[in-house]
Amino acid sequence: MRRSIIEQHLKMIYLNVLIKQEDFLSEFNYLETIRDINRQYDEIFLTN
């Protein structure tokens, strides 16, 4: 069960990166995307 929850969160992270991909080359958006991924990673793995 936890594995499927983690997989679902990782899919959402990936989708968020794809959505932002058009603007990914700008430095601000790049840093913001990295922060989002790190925050979501912390939420997933530190709470489990």
pLDDT, tens digit (0-9, with 9 covering 90-100), for 1-48: 677 777 787 778 777 777 666 655 566 677 787 888 888 888 887 776
Number of structural domains (the chain) is 1
Q: Indicate the pTM of the whole model.
A: 0.45
Amino acid at 31: L
Task: Report if residue 12 sits inside a domain.
Answer: no
The encoded tokens of residue 35 equal 């922060």
Task: Report if residue 4 sits inside a domain.
Answer: no
Task: Report if residue 38 sits inside a domain.
Answer: yes
Task: Report if residue 42 sits inside a domain.
Answer: yes
Give the C-alpha separation, 20 to 13, whole Å.
Answer: 11
- Note the pLDDT of residue 41: 82
Task: Report if residue 14 sits inside a domain.
Answer: no
- Note the pLDDT of residue 15: 75
- Note the pLDDT of residue 47: 73
Domain that holds residue 40: 21-48
Give the C-alpha separation, 33 to 41, whole Å.
Answer: 12
Task: Report if residue 44 sits inside a domain.
Answer: yes
The encoded tokens of residue 30 equal 């790049």
Task: Report if residue 15 sits inside a domain.
Answer: no
Distances 35 to 1, 2, 5, 22 between C-alpha atoms, Å:
27, 24, 21, 17
Task: Report if residue 10 sits inside a domain.
Answer: no
